[in-house]
Amino acid sequence: MIVRARGPVEATLNDMLSLMRMLLREERSAYDTAMAAAVEADGLVDPLAAMHHAATFQQHVCKLIELLLGAPQSRKQGATSACQSCTAMFAGYESSMFRGADPSGCKASVRACRRITTI
């Protein structure tokens, strides 16, 4: 049986997801504990306490999502800006080729753009 090896990016994402699942379980248990502690003698929960605990839980879940998606989003934005600068550079080379200028530095810059986009 052939099993595909996990690359460093997949391993990192899987580790992040398992950490986030664990943190979400802890947040859920803290919410359940707080709601159980807020039960009054008649068996009902005060509406303000319930709203407070629900809002706190939602705020913590949003922070977890921001932490999970923050690194890939910043990496994507960095790659997008690098691609845009390479596109602008290639447009400059194209216009210089039509004017008949010497594109002697073109090969080195193209190699640099290839390195940027493969990161």
Q: What is the mean pLDDT of the segment spanning 100-113?
A: 55
Q: Of 70, 81, 69, nearest to 117 (Cα)?
A: 81
Residue ranges covered by each domain of the chain: 8-117
* Residue whose pair of structure tokens reads 């994402």 in the numeric block: 13
Angstrom distance (rounded) from CA 80 to CA 86: 10
Residue 1 has pLDDT above 50, yes or no: no
Q: What angle do CA 37, 39, 44 make, to 5 degrees?
A: 165
pLDDT band, very low/low/confident/very high, at 111 (cuts 50, 70, 90) = low
Q: What pLDDT score does 108 carry? A: 53
Q: What pLDDT score does 119 carry? A: 47
* Tens-digit pLDDT profile for residues 46-67: 889 999 999 999 999 998 888 8
Q: What pLDDT score does 11 carry? A: 64
* Tens-digit pLDDT profile for residues 3-55: 455 556 566 777 878 888 998 999 999 999 999 998 888 888 888 999 999 99
